[in-house]
Chains A and B, each alone.
Chain A
């Protein structure tokens, strides 16, 4: 299974599962990343982390460690 941090810039992926736990997982879901959401990977920050995503029509940035907990296809 591939996770969000493996996705390339410019790709659009679909969320399969959220693996994190606790408040961080809740936060990620509150920001609109839920099962079945499609995510467009907009870019990576100049120093390689975090990444910028387009979710539900707005821009969200998450670190790769957070992106690791999001399984996508």
Chain B
């Protein structure tokens, strides 16, 4: 029988580094049943029967965020054979708080004091013997990064697996609390797994609703236990939950006092603090942030990334792959439809999407560096005040930032937001910022129709931000998102130089997701679009696209887009195709206007010019930037929302925003710049504008205005 070893510990304690060291990076990502947070498991190197389970980082077993709930449920219900509790040796006091809770679970625990190399460098000493004695469990020191102490750790962990004689954490609680706990233990002993008795007793004492419900205790019994609990509360003049936390920390402080010798007094300035003094400096923080972002985009989009993308598009897919495929198809004398499917449909479509891979990989590389070094947490810290103003927290800024690369990882990045409302709102809004694929549309449309106006492209980013801000304000005033703002309690991890391997793994995990989706959903979508554009309703192949099924479908729904300026079937098809992948928008326009060589920018520009009036092109661009993102991102929204209703609400909101904005732009733009007569369209546009202003200005719920009030006074 195999052994399961779970890795548990605080966020930023080096869990994933240890995981990668132990497994050699052979992990695969799977979904937890019913929730969307991912676990990772891998096989221990040289031990094929040992599974290492990497759990989301947690601070406590009282769940607060989605990730903490997942970890707690796994530990309590699945019960791994051993827990390796990774403790950041440089932050031992808070890390050991979780350790006490883990030991109480009654699963064999081995404590791995990580980053021991850093501890040594600081001149601190940790007495393993004393620590082990105080915690009544095995303690080893390791450095996951330098691969120090890992064989010893796993050997001891394997030896511990399945041990049923159970370790009690000695003398944590004072007399009266211990007395009450003993009483609770006695009453619930028959309902719970015996090794976890202590943990359950403490949870009952703390009045943890979920645990109490799961135990299904009789009301009389609960009432009786309540007497003991209130007795303790009276004696110690505090609520039960606080009593437990206080005594835990008091106990840890004592343990740390005897087992850890610090060279420098706690709280003195470290290198990390010195960096922080500059990076989050009152005056320098925002300029530094701006420089970092500009540099990141300059490198990954404009220079290196653009060159790589051009090469992939023009040379790799445009020449090498196309030529090879053509030659191959010719050699087997493939029928025309097959050549068309492979070259126009698959290589053309999927190729365009994969062309973005270099840019996306580069953005993810930079974002991973920023995240792993600890800078992202500072960004949330710096930006919180601004985001708070319109109902989001600084943590929502990170997804928006990632959204400039690609909406898919942006939506996934919202997982770090503990508050469910904030998380949902962030998912709904983060794709309003133009992603790399949308910038292609912006670039093409502005180059074709407004070559003299340099401001349109940057203005679209600002418009994106404005829509996020405006949506935040409007949604916070609805009954669901209203109410008190979610609290902001966040660790600012010490800066450290990220490991190359860690950054690369992190980057690859995100890029992989994008590539897989490009290879599946977009692949399918490309084939469907190709099929619809090459065949008529009688399933006969057509030469002229105007007689195809696609044209038929386009004319069927074209009227929807008439008020936006592009009501013919081509406009409708261009919108549908862009929903598959925004990258496809320009290519589709090229095909629709019968451009012979879609890779030739000049021809494509001519083609688009023949299809759209300038105002209609602008309106098409606006619709594409702010309506729902591509189908891949929509699928991600659905998955992360973990609720059909919420996914529909998010996409519905995005449809409304995109359509109304394009409507207002087109109708008022035609009147203001192109001399259209003021008519019904303009009146409706003004009504929409007035409605938006009303939604922005109307008073919110009571608690919200109170919260704003207190913010204004602070």
Contact = CB atoms under 8 A, between A and B. Distances in A.
Interface of A: 5, 12, 18, 23-32, 34-37, 40, 42-50, 52, 54-66, 68
Contacts of A35: 238, 242, 246
Contact of A31 (B285, B384, B491): B491
Nearest to B486: A24
Given A34-B245, A47-B385, A64 B280 contact: no
A56 B91 CA distance: 8
Interface stretch (B78-86, B468-476, B577-585, B706-714): B706-714
Contacts of A48: 385
A31 B59 contact: yes
Contacts of B490: 60-62
A63 B381 contact: no
A63 B487 contact: yes
Contacts of B250: 34, 36
Contacts of A46: 280-283, 285-286, 382
Interface residues of B, number: 47
Contacts of B283: 46
Contacts of A18: 242
Main secondary structure of the interface of B (DSSP, over half): helix
Contact of B59 (A23, A30, A52, A68): A30
Contacts of A36: 246, 250
A65 B485 contact: yes
B1 interface: no
A52 B381 contact: yes
B624 interface: no
The 10 A-B residue pairs whose C-beta atoms are closest, nearest first, are A47-B385, A30-B60, A59-B492, A56-B93, A46-B285, A29-B245, A24-B487, A63-B488, A64-B714, A58-B91
Interface of B: 59-60, 62, 64, 90-94, 97, 238, 241-242, 245-246, 249-250, 266-267, 273, 276, 280-283, 285-286, 381-382, 384-386, 388, 394, 485, 487-494, 707, 710-711, 714
Contacts of B249: 32, 34, 37, 56
B283 to A, nearest CB: 8
A49 B273 CA distance: 18
Given A30-B60, A30-B245, A34-B245, A45 B487 contact: no
Given A34-B245, A49-B385, A65-B707, 8 more contacts: A30-B62, A31-B489, A35-B238, A50-B384, A54-B267, A57-B91, A60-B489, A68-B714
Contact of B492 (A12, A27, A61): A61
Contacts of B62: 26, 30
Contact of A66 (B90, B94, B489, B707): B489
A12 B581 CA distance: 54
B97 A30 contact: yes
B549 to A, nearest CB: 54
Contacts of A49: 384-385, 388, 711, 714
A58 to B, nearest CB: 5
B245 A47 contact: no
27 contacts: A18-B242, A27-B59, A31-B489, A35-B238, A36-B246, A37-B249, A46-B281, A46-B382, A47-B385, A49-B388, A52-B276, A52-B492, A54-B267, A56-B93, A58-B91, A59-B273, A59-B491, A59-B493, A60-B490, A61-B381, A61-B490, A61-B491, A62-B488, A63-B388, A63-B487, A65-B487, A65-B714
A45 B489 contact: no
A26 B707 CA distance: 20
A12 B265 CA distance: 14
A26 B487 contact: no
A32 B94 contact: yes
Contact of B491 (A29, A58, A64): A58
A50 B488 contact: yes
Nearest to B245: A29
Contacts of A24: 487, 489
A24 B488 CA distance: 9
Given A45-B384, A46-B282, A65-B707, A31 B488 contact: no
A63 B392 CA distance: 13
B95 to A, nearest CB: 9
Contacts of A23: 64
Contact of B494 (A30, A50, A59): A59
Given A27-B64, A35-B238, A57-B93, A45 B485 contact: no
Contacts of B382: 45-47
B13 to A, nearest CB: 11
A60 B491 contact: yes
A34 B246 contact: yes
A36 B238 CA distance: 13
Given A26-B64, A64-B714, A57 B266 contact: yes
Nearest to B60: A30
